[in-house]
């Protein structure tokens, strides 16, 4: 379709963002099995864990062990993990990941809730951690949480967001992810934010991390593609959320994003049927149904055939 990128690169974040908000901790062996199944679907990138405090996010306490088990996958898919500070970056950089994803918030309220830091302190922490990652020979990217809407402060001024991104890119970090942390952004906000960020940091490569709380996730992805964005995070089955952002629900489902892209003629390299098959194994892992549109359609088809 005219105006859309020819190809989209999807980072599957179900192993991290998907599982971190679950009340039950998924055993490491089950995470390994899920990672291997996801790697077999054609997904090019897996975000597999987070090097954060285990007392705050116990579901991620085994990230180092998991990466030790699946390091062989790095020959076929890119593995990445997130870290909030220098200590986390040191741990992540010592594994088989090709990229360490650092993060900060665009709003003071969420920054305090998520990391106990001001935004300025968050920027300083990210820049210090980036030095550690680059010294280890790993690629670094930075995710900006609450890039569009904050659960504590409301809408984020695109100029404020652009200023934060500008401070990061001045340090030579050119891979930036903008996150709709609570899934409340609408397409107009996404478009305005992308224009502001690109005007301030034209050299940056911008990706999006979208949640689907209010049902606008795919619409926001479409607008972003119209604006030339071709890098997206998504989560198998649409599971996930942020434990430090009230109201945050699941991510845009990988299978729904892949379906939309393929229907529009945008390549992903992902086998949709294989992704849907993997998604059907999630309820047994997390203990509840999944809510992706593809899953609901399949469940309805099965029920009608019975």
Reported as a single tens digit per residue, the pLDDT across 113-124 is 888 999 999 999
Tally Cβ neighbours within 10 Å of residue 277.
15
State pTM to two decimals: 0.94
Give rounded-to-5 percent helix, strand, coil for the chain.
45, 20, 35
Reported as a single tens digit per residue, the pLDDT across 202-234 is 999 999 999 999 999 999 999 999 999 999 999
Band (pLDDT 50/70/90 cuts) for residue 304 is: low
Sign of the C-alpha dihedral, residues 268, 269, 272, 278? negative
Beta-strand relationship, 175-180 and 139-145: parallel
Evaluate if residue 298 carries a pLDDT over 90.
Answer: no
Band (pLDDT 50/70/90 cuts) for residue 245 is: low
Establish how many alpha carbons lie within 13 A of residue 28's alpha carbon, considering only the half-sphere containing its beta carbon. Answer: 13
DSSP state of 26: P
Reported as a single tens digit per residue, the pLDDT across 68-94 is 999 999 999 999 999 999 999 999 999
Question: Which candidate, 46, 51, 50, 55, places its Cα nearest to that of 13?
Answer: 46
Q: Which residues, other chains included, contact 248 with Cβ-Cβ below 8 Å and sequence gap of 6+?
A: 21, 151, 181, 182, 183, 211, 213, 241, 242
Evaluate if residue 247 carries a pLDDT over 70.
Answer: no
Angle, to 10 degrees, between the axis of helix 158-169 and the axis of helix 119-135?
30
Active site annotation includes 242: yes
Band (pLDDT 50/70/90 cuts) for residue 248 is: low
- With a pLDDT cut of 90, the percent of the chain lying above it is 83
**E strand or H helix at 64, and its extent?**
helix 63-70
Residue of 80, 150, 242, 261 with catalytic role: 242
Q: What is the DSSP string of 239-294?
A: ----TTSTT--PBPBHHHHHHHHHHTT-B----HHHHHHHHTTHHHHHSS----HH
Band (pLDDT 50/70/90 cuts) for residue 140 is: very high
Band (pLDDT 50/70/90 cuts) for residue 56 is: confident
Sign of the C-alpha dihedral, residues 60, 62, 65, 69? negative
């Amino acid at each position: 379709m005219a105006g859309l990128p020819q190809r989209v690169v999807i980072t599957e974040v179900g192993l991290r963002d998907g599982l971190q908000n679950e009340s039950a901790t998924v055993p490491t062996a089950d995470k390994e099995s899920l990672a291997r199944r996801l790697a077999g679907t054609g997904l090019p990138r897996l975000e597999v864990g987070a090097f954060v405090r285990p007392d705050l996010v116990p579901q991620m306490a085994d990230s180092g062990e998991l990466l030790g088990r699946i390091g062989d996958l790095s020959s076929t898919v890119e593995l990445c993990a997130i870290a909030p500070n220098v200590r986390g970056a040191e741990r992540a950089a010592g594994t088989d990941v090709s990229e360490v994803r650092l993060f900060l918030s665009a709003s003071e309220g969420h920054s305090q809730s998520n990391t106990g830091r001001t935004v300025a302190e968050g920027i300083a922490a990210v820049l210090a951690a980036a030095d550690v990652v680059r010294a280890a020979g790993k690629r670094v990217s930075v995710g900006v949480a609450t890039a569009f809407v904050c659960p504590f402060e409301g809408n984020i001024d695109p100029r404020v967001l652009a200023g934060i991104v500008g401070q990061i890119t001045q340090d030579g970090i050119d891979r930036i992810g903008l996150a709709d942390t609570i899934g409340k952004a609408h397409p107009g906000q996404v478009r305005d934010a992308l224009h502001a960020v690109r005007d301030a940091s034209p050299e940056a490569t911008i990706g999006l991390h979208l949640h689907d709380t209010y049902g606008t996730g795919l619409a926001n992805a479409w607008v972003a593609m119209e604006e030339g964005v071709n890098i997206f995070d998504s989560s198998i089955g649409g599971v996930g959320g942020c434990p430090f952002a009230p109201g945050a629900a699941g991510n845009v489902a990988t299978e729904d994003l892949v379906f939309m892209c393929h229907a529009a003629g945008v390549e992903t390299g992902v086998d949709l049927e294989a992704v849907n098959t993997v998604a059907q194994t999630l309820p047994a892992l997390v203990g509840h149904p999944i809510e992706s549109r593809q899953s609901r359609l399949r469940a309805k088809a099965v029920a009608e055939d019975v």
